[in-house]
Amino acid sequence: TIHGEEHILYAQTIQKIGDIFLGMSDYHEAMESYNWALDVMYTEPSHHRVEIGEILDNKGTIHYSKGEIEEALQCHQEALRSKQVDLGEDHPEVAATYHHIGNCLSDQGNVDDAIVHFEEAIRLKELDPEGGPERDADVLTIEGILHNLEGNQEQGLECYEKSLQILVT
């Protein structure tokens, strides 16, 4: 049997296998891999909070893709709590989790809370000193979502077009 640090390395490898299955849209195998990796990482959660958060975000993505919005929201909220313990509340790496939560809340019709989460995602992304063009495109995309939620479709479309221009160049 595998114990200690070797056990964690094994779990990290299983997590990466889950990432491959997720990329292939094999949600069942991805979920199985993530659940196994989480079981191991939860034995020492204080050392693996960011990894746990990443796995939970991926599980949330699977639930979201399957239309299981409440389950997705729960995973992303748990991911946010886990990541914030190690990274803090103002770390750019939690921006994507806020974005995911905003999507779930929006799909549930909870527009006001969705807007708060999208705005926080933008704020955190803008804190990233190494963001570059990809970050700028992400911010514009989220701004487009916000405009659409607020009923400003023309402004939303402009943001999406600007985002595409950045990504093409």
- The mean of the pLDDT values for the chain is 93
Residue 3 has pLDDT above 80, yes or no: no
pLDDT digits (tens, 9 = 90+) for 64-85: 999 999 999 999 999 999 999 9
pLDDT digits (tens, 9 = 90+) for 123-158: 999 999 888 999 999 999 999 999 999 999 999 999
Task: Average the pLDDT over 83-104 and give the result.
Answer: 95
Lowest mean pLDDT among 3-7, 54-58, 89-93: 3-7
pLDDT digits (tens, 9 = 90+) for 105-127: 999 999 999 999 999 999 999 99
State pTM to two decimals: 0.90
What was the pLDDT predicted at 5?
62
Q: Specify the long-range contacts of residues 108-111, CB closer than 8 Å, at least 24 apart.
A: 108/69, 108/70, 108/73, 111/149
With pLDDT > 70 as the criterion, what percentage of the chain qualifies?
A: 96
pLDDT digits (tens, 9 = 90+) for 29-74: 999 999 999 998 888 777 789 999 999 999 999 999 999 999 999 9
What was the pLDDT predicted at 1?
44
